Structure 1
Amino acid sequence: MAAYTASTLGDSVYHLALSWAAVRGGTPAEAGLVLAVSAVPRALLMLGGGVVADRFGPRRVVVVSDTVRCLVVLAVAASLFLSSPGLWFLAAVALVFGCVDALFMPAVGALPPRIAPRDQLARVQGLRGLAYRAGLVLGAPLGGLAVALGGAAAAFGTAALLFAFSLPLLLALRVAPLPGDQAANAGGTAVRDLADGLRYIRRHQVLGPLMIVIALSDLCFVGPLNVGLALLSDARGWGAAGIGWVLAGFGTGAGAASLLLTVRGRIPRAGAVMAWTITLGAVSIAALAYVPLLPVAVAVALCVGLLAGLSGALCGALTQTECDPAYLGRVTSVSHFFSLGVAPLSFPLTGAAVGLWGPGPVFTASAAICALGGVYALSVRALRRAELPR
């Protein structure tokens, strides 16, 4: 978990450094394009990343991915220190990171069952959530301090050190083989492996419906939170400080959900709880657009974070406990494909929709689709009755 925390913290510092370097080196539109470059290869290659994780093992893929990120960011820091490369150079770096993310994310998702017993996977999901929140909370001020002291080069160097710190911890990690691991190396092409994984998901009574639930909830949740929230704050006159307070409320709620799972270790009737938290979280998202006062909006955002954090962790735990180990990388890549690959591509659409119709209708429509995912989960008996191992 320390390795994951360091890697997440490095990722947060890297994104801040890239944003700063891109803004300093070009127009706002050009900077936006540089930051968006990584989303395309991540979406295109995510499913292939699951095949790679199953074939070569998630630990090996995570180690190689973090090594590549460390070397690339270190090279960027040296280049910025010695010269002033153009935006094309930063875009190339973002492109490489998008490709590496497509390998790293499915492998990280497939790793927990190999390092923890099945009855502890919900607790591992809680710990991962806490580590991720810590990376977001600490990464921004750490990156900002590095920029203030030494510019973008120092920030990229800090990110490289954090990636480097995670490597010996990952190499020391003991990974237990799981039944079915050998099946992943039985031969066949990568395309055949991917098709086999998709058939496995489609035929599985729990995983098939669960992937649909993840797609519906994530595709319509990420846009309002990342883009719609800024436009909502501007419309309400809350300003940049208002965005910070609302995001702080969301982060506090999500952190509380992760802490709950970490302490309890198991949530009874996990499938039903996941479905209800998705549905109630969708209602909270819709309510956020109609709240006129900032303190109330912060309270609503806290509820959104608590419910979304709990449902997301349960989705991950159910995925890992229900899946055959031989398919775990591919199944994880499908879930990440929607949440981390396709969902960010909806940002321009969300912004355009809010500009045309205002935040209220857009938040409500997004919440309705999210709620549809929760209602669908309740309607599928196998998913509704899914349990985490005792």
Structure 2
Amino acid sequence: MSVSDEAAEGAVEAGGIPAPKMCDERQGQDRLPRTYVLWLVGILVSLVGNAIFYFALGWAASEYGGSIAALTLSAITLPRVLLLLVGGAVSDRISARRVLITGDAAMLIFSLILAATAYSLGAPPLLLIATGVAVGVVDAFYLPASGSMPRRLVAKAQLPRALSLRQVGGQVINMGGGPLAGVLVGLAGFAGAAVVNAVTFAFTLVVLTVIRPQHEVPPAPRTAGLLKEAMSGVKVAFSHPVLRPGLWLTGAAAGFLLPVLSLLVPLLAREEEWSAGAAGLVLGAQGVGMVAVTLVVVKRGPLGRPGLMAASALVLAGVGVLALGISPSATGAIAAGLIIGVGNGTFAAHIAPLVLASSPDTHLSRIQAVLALVQSLALLLMNNVLGALVDLEGATVVLVVCSVMLVGVGLAGLASSPLRNDRTGLERR
């Protein structure tokens, strides 16, 4: 309870009204709806299946060499990027819940057919590539719909806590999914992973048929063709005074922060002759910092004005990246990883609810599609650019470049008055 809450409780008691009743009402208002919690359980179960299946897919493809493995992963990414905007328009047009139900049903059937095929034929390259295409197509429709669901299930003021809870669950699954996937694939192979994936889709499908959105908005009017409706999401997103800088911040984080963790930390460790264990501890420290911040937001709500916090968080993350790049030892790098995690967690916990709450009701899924597209394109481009720069200049120089870009974009975000002053999620504080 905050100081202001305690003062309000004392004032109520002085007036002769029982304070416990007020506290009960306040707790009832702050408690996330059961429909959201049930949906979140379904999503997290589905994420477990995805973690296992993606590992199994990559593992099976790696048997045929790097080219087939890269082609299999690209088979997921390419249709996803090409169809994301269309997927968002379809979701806004016919309802996000229907799109999710259709996607889960399609993947359930596909996973069962895939399991039977893999059990009979093994996992030839053509099957793996076709699987990647199927997953990418479904993801293009599923991701925008899923991203818009929290807005349909909880009040705007609850979005920071709701999305932070989802983020914490995703982080836990990411940390445990790899080892679990390795054990399962070792025991049951690619076919077994497909069966597990089918079971998780079946569970999520049941959840979606049970829940009903409490804040559902009517479908967007069909004023133009599907492609024009898809492109209108881009137009709305980049003409909105809050969404536009929010998307630029998100693109910067995807392009200059995420590659630090997945690409540059291992390369820096090899350059500095640290052990693989030391590199793992840097990533673990980042995860600890990120989860710690999101747990605080789950319990207490947003830490301040979301745009202000998100932009400031990028500056903090940039400082952490600089500390990582110039660190003289693995111990210093681990401390830098913790700083990066706090910045990354603060950014994610505030930018996601800001974008979702600022989206017009008619464009909820389309804005989520634009958000996913910005992240995917930035990550796809900068992974390759930064990797090439490391070969030319070394990991330390590239980390300094990433730091400068993150701090610069964060400061630019702080200079945006609409972003800096937005008070989404602070209505009851």
TM beyond 0.5: yes
1:138: how far off? Answer: 2.3
What is the Cα deviation at residue 218 of structure 1? 1.6
Q: Shift of residue 178 of structure 1?
A: 4.0
Supply the AA of the counterpart residue of 1:65.
G
Find the partner of 2:169 among 108, 115, 131.
131
Q: How is 1:1-390 mapped onto 2 (pairs within 5 angstroms)?
A: 1-24=40-63, 26-179=64-217, 181-182=218-219, 184-389=220-425, 390=427
Q: Which moved more, 1:58-67 or 1:315-324?
A: 58-67
Instruction: Confirm or deny: 8 A CA contact 2:285 2:334 kept in the other structure.
Output: yes
Q: Per-residue CA shift, 1:49-93, capped at 9, x if unaligned?
A: 211221122222222222323332332222221122421210111
CA shift in 2, pair 1:202/1:9, >3 Å: same
Q: How many residues align?
A: 387
Cα separation, 1, equivalents of 2:85 and 2:238: 15
Query: Residues 60 and 238 (structure 1 numbering): CA distance in 2 closer, same or farther, change over 3 Å?
Result: farther
Alignment-mate amino acid for residue 287 of structure 1: A
Shift in Å, 1:256: 1.4
Give the Cα separation in 2 of the matches to 1:342 and 1:41.
Answer: 16
- Deviation by residue 1:207-230 (Cα, 9 ceiling, x = unmatched): 122112212222222222212222
Distance in 2 separating the partners of 1:71 and 1:263: 39
The residue type paired with residue 246 of structure 1 is V
Aligned partners of 2:331, 2:116: CA distance in 1, in Å? 45
> What percent of counterpart residues are identical?
28
Which residue identity is paired with 1:31? A
With 375-384 and 135-144 compared, the bigger mean Cα shift is at: 135-144
In structure 1, distance between residues paired with 2:74 and 2:274? 27
Structure 1 distance, partners of 2:84, 2:182, is 30
Partners of 1:155 and 1:295 in 2: CA distance: 38
**1:100 and 1:160, CA in 2 relative to 1: closer, same or farther beyond 3 A?**
same
- Structure 1 residues 124, 177: CA separation in 2 closer, same or farther (over 3 Å shift)? closer
* Maintained 8 Å contact 2:252/2:406: yes
SS of aligned partner of 1:268: coil
Instruction: Verify the 8 A CA contact 2:308 2:414 in the aligned structure 1.
Output: yes
- Determine helix, strand or coil for the equivalent of 2:174: helix
Larger RCO, structure (CA 8 Å, separation 6 or more): 1
Give me the whole-angstrom Cα distance separating, in 1, the residues matched to 2:101 and 2:318: 37
Provide closer, same or farther for how the CA distance between residues 239 and 348 of structure 1 changes in structure 2, counting only shifts above 3 A: farther
- Counterparts of 1:138 and 1:201, CA distance in 2: 35
Partners of 2:240 and 2:374 in 1: CA distance: 19
Work out the CA distance in 1 between the residues paired with 2:423 and 2:143. 25
TM-superposition CA deviations, 1:304-344 (whole Å, max 9, x none): 12211221221111112212111111111111112134413
Give, in angstroms, the shift of residue 381 of structure 1. 0.5
- Comparing 287-296 with 372-381, which one deviates more in the overlay? 287-296
The gaps in structure 2 that reach 5 residues or longer are: 1-39
More displaced stretch, 153-162 vs 269-278:
153-162
In the alignment, is the contact (CA less than 8 A) between 1:289 and 1:359 conserved in 2? yes
Shift in Å at residue 110 of structure 1? 0.8
The answer to whether the 8 Å contact 1:178/1:325 transfers is no
**Contact residue 147 and residue 368 of structure 2 kept, 8 A:** yes
Is the contact between residue 154 and residue 215 of structure 2 (CA under 8 Å) also seen in structure 1?
Answer: no
Aligned residue for 2:14?
A: none
Tell me, which stretches of 5 or more residues in structure 1 are unaligned?
Answer: none
Partners in 1 of 2:222 and 2:188 — Cα distance?
50
Q: Distance in 1 between matches of 2:85 and 2:46?
A: 22
What amino acid is aligned across from residue 224 of structure 1 in structure 2? Answer: V
Q: Which one-letter code corresponds to 2:402 in the other structure?
A: S
Partners of 1:232 and 1:276 in 2: CA distance: 26
Is the CA contact 2:151–2:215 (under 8 Å) kept in the aligned structure 1? Answer: no
Is the 1:70–1:164 contact (alpha carbons within 8 Å) kept by the matching residues of 2? yes
| Preserved CA contact (<8 Å) 1:222 1:344 | no
Distance 1:43 1:162 in 2: 25
- Is contact 1:39-1:344 (8 Å) kept? no
